[in-house]
């Protein structure tokens, strides 16, 4: 007879939600614990694409910006938890100032310890707009976004 594989969800008082992998022998109805890796239960299906994680880029400025983000196609996503500079420079383009004001009014940027804290991931049209908005100033290009070292 064939053996059928199952997964059982268990709630443990100390470890929380756990999963038990086992198989049942069709003839004897005997349950046998399985190692999910050895049994092939946790392998990807053939032909399934592997999701490639984006490279995380960082930026910081003298005025207190400390942010991270990544490319999403042509757009740029600044990650939740990033800190924007609390002030803007005199040369900061008005569209960056307006975008910062919009994020504050929507409750996505909140003041915290002389910085503005981003509460959710936010998608910008491109990395230059993201950089200018984060640092509160004018920038020539996306060169300020650097990979983790």
pLDDT of the chain, 149 residues: tens digit per residue: 577 777 778 888 888 888 788 888 888 888 888 776 666 655 555 555 666 778 899 998 888 899 999 999 899 999 999 999 999 999 899 999 999 999 999 999 999 888 999 999 999 999 999 999 999 998 877 677 888 65
**Residue 41 domain-assigned (yes or no):** no
**Residue 89 domain-assigned (yes or no):** yes
**Residue 63 domain-assigned (yes or no):** yes
**Residue 39 domain-assigned (yes or no):** no
**Residue 46 domain-assigned (yes or no):** no
Asked if 26 and 68 sit in the same domain, the reply is no
Q: Residue 91 — φ and ψ, nearest 5°? A: -90, 5
**Residue 52 domain-assigned (yes or no):** no
Q: How many domains does the chain have?
A: 2
Beta-strand pair 109-112/57-60: unpaired
Asked if 72 and 119 sit in the same domain, the reply is yes
Asked if 92 and 139 sit in the same domain, the reply is yes
Residue 124 confidence (pLDDT)? 96
**Residue 93 domain-assigned (yes or no):** yes
Asked if 72 and 143 sit in the same domain, the reply is yes
Q: What is the DSSP letter of 74?
A: T
Asked if 72 and 29 sit in the same domain, the reply is no
**Residue 27 domain-assigned (yes or no):** yes
The residue range of the domain holding 76 is 57-147
Asked if 29 and 66 sit in the same domain, the reply is no
């Amino acid at each position: 007879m064939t053996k059928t594989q199952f997964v059982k969800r268990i709630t443990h008082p100390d470890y929380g939600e756990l999963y038990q992998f086992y198989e049942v022998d069709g003839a004897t109805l005997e349950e046998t614990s399985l190692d999910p890796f050895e049994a092939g239960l946790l392998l990807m299906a053939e032909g399934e694409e592997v999701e490639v994680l984006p490279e995380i880029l960082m930026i910081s400025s003298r005025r207190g910006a400390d942010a991270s983000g990544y490319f999403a196609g042509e757009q740029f996503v600044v990650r939740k938890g990033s800190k924007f500079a609390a002030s803007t420079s005199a040369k900061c383009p008005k569209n960056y100032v307006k975008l910062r004001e919009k994020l504050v009014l929507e409750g996505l940027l909140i003041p915290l310890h002389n910085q503005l804290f981003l509460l959710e991931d936010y998608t910008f049209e491109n990395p230059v707009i993201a950089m200018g908005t984060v640092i509160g100033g004018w920038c020539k290009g996306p060169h300020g976004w650097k990979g983790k070292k």
